[in-house]
Amino acid sequence: MKDAIRQRALELGFDQCRFTTAAAPDHAAAFQHWLRAGHHGAMAYLERNAEKRLEPQRLLPGARSVICVVASYATATLASQTPHPSSAFVARYARFRDYHAVLGARLEELAAFINQLGGPNTRSRWYVDTGPVLEREFAQRAGLGFIGKHTNLISRRFGNWIFLGEILTTLELEPDAPEHNHCGRCVRCLDACPTRAILAPFQLDARRCISYLTIELKGPIPVELRPAIGNRVFGCDDCLAVCPWNRFAREGRLLRAHARPDLDAPDLLELLELDEAAFRARFAQTPLARVKRRGLRRNVCVALGNVGDAAALPALERIAATDEPLVAEHARWAMDQIVARAGAGSTALSSA
């Protein structure tokens, strides 16, 4: 039965499929400690549904097994850098059609196949980063990879550029061997983090993470962290990109057809000028829709404050005078940074 499920998963486009039990997570205490420390920030849903994350039976009564799948989103141009200072950086995973839709449709098919294979009393429930599942723990327990010091899953076959999906099922399937940690003494991810969000190996303070600041945080970005954001407007890949296990990364089959090359290096001022209709038309089917137009404009203002020049001032002045308070405040901050840089440059030239 496992062979049939694995074969069907590969036919649906997933790059790997492995199995584990539906037993409670081993790292429940660590997760609870992380929540008590407040390291989840404004992501209140993590605390609200913590019991479900720690007890899979609450998600699917009678669950006995978890089928875990991997889909690589590595591309041939993954290592390329942003080609121009006026361009925005978008996390690699977001440069595709929304992975929730792409993986979700296949997981739904795979769950239906499992139910048919198991018979009329079989029940299955699938997730792709959308439910209260500690997916990295299940994936490590199934042997798909190991949780690195940056707290993300690392695959020895695909590196860091991977999406995960899970299916809880009432079928009892023999579990595969778990993966063990292979970070060794490497601390490249800790050293690479621009905001020092990785407090220590395997300890992340999400409140300092650029992915949290540009995606999850809905209010103002802390002023002291804004310079470290650089030109990033949606997520940050620094801790993933430096991992030596990426030497094994290879292009996945499933995401290839859903790439959005227009998001490789979008122009910052162009993003700032999008009206609501244009924002929806461009980003409705991508992960960027999650931050909504106001969130993207807030992020773009910060990026322009870090890398923009005088050419950005007219647009920022207009936004500072007419936009909602959240975006306007970030626009004013950006203007101050640009003017300060220009002044410092003039001083340097006059003293040369």
Express each pLDDT in 227-250 by its tens digit.
999 999 999 999 999 999 999 999
Look at residue 201 in the predicted model and tell me its pLDDT: 98
**What sign has the CA pseudo-torsion 230, 236, 242, 248?**
negative
Q: What integer pLDDT is reported at residue 77 of this predicted model?
A: 66
Start-to-end CA distance of the chain, whole Å, equals 75
Picking from 130, 88, 150, the residue whose alpha carbon sits closest to that of residue 283 is: 88
Task: Please give the C-alpha separations between residue 189 and each of 10, 78, 136, 139, 148, in angstroms, as whole numbers.
Answer: 31, 18, 18, 20, 9
Would you say residue 336 has pLDDT above 90? Answer: yes
344/347: higher pLDDT = 344
pLDDT, tens digit, for every residue of 183-193? 999 999 999 99
The stretch 332-347 carries a mean pLDDT of: 86
For 83, 230, 298, 339, the CA distances from 312, given in Å and listed in that order, are 18, 15, 14, 11
Residue 351 has pLDDT above 50, yes or no: no
Average pLDDT of the residues in 127-145 = 95
Best CA proximity match to 287, nearest among 260, 319, 254: 260
Task: Please tell me the predicted confidence (pLDDT) of residue 344.
Answer: 74
Q: Does 124 fall in a domain? A: yes
Instruction: Give me the mean pLDDT over the 255-284 stretch.
Output: 96
CATH number at residue 120: 3.40.109
Q: What is the pTM of this model?
A: 0.93
Residue 265 has pLDDT above 60, yes or no: yes
Q: How far is CA 184 from the centre of its chain?
A: 24
Q: Give the separation between CA 342 and CA 317, rounded to whole angstroms.
A: 16
How large is the average pLDDT for residues 59-67? 97
272: amino acid identity, one letter: L
Q: Do the beta carbons of residue 152 and residue 158 sit within 8 Å?
A: no
In a domain, 319, yes or no: no
Q: Looking at the chain, which runs of residues are DSSP E strands?
A: 16-21, 65-72, 89-90, 124-127, 146-147, 153-154, 162-169, 198-200, 203-204, 232-234
Identify which of 98, 115, 160, 17 has the alpha carbon closest to the alpha carbon of residue 289.
Answer: 98
Is residue 146 a contact partner of residue 153, using CB atoms and an 8 Å limit? yes
Q: 8 in a domain, yes or no?
A: yes
Beta bridge partners of 167: 67, 126
Q: What are 215's two structure tokens?
A: 């995606």
Give the pairing of strands 162-169 and 89-90: unpaired
DSSP-derived secondary structure letter, 26: T
Q: Flag whether pLDDT at 80 surpasses 60.
A: no
Quote the domain boundaries for residue 149: 2-83+96-186+240-258
Q: For a pLDDT cut of 90, what percent of the chain falls above it?
A: 90
What was the pLDDT predicted at 8? Answer: 98
Q: How many domains does the chain have?
A: 1
Say if residues 180 and 173 touch (Cβ distance below 8 Å): no
Looking at residue 298, what is its pLDDT? 98
* CA separation for the pair 318, 189 (Å, rounded): 39
**What is the rounded average pLDDT for all residues in the chain?**
94
Domain membership flag for residue 168: yes
336 within a domain of the structure (yes/no): no
Give domain status of residue 161, yes or no.
Answer: yes
CA–CA distances in Å: residue 222 to residues 76, 195, 203, 312, 327: 35, 11, 21, 22, 13
pLDDT at 104 over 80: yes
Q: Is residue 20 part of a domain?
A: yes
Average the pLDDT over 155-171 and give the result.
97
89 φ, ψ (degrees, to nearest 5): -100, 130
Residue 157 lies in a domain: yes
Structural Rg of the chain based on CA atoms: 22
Tens of pLDDT, residue by residue over 194-233, are 999 999 999 999 999 999 999 999 999 999 999 999 999 9
Distance CA 41, CA 37 (A): 9
User: Which residues form the catalytic set?
Assistant: 129
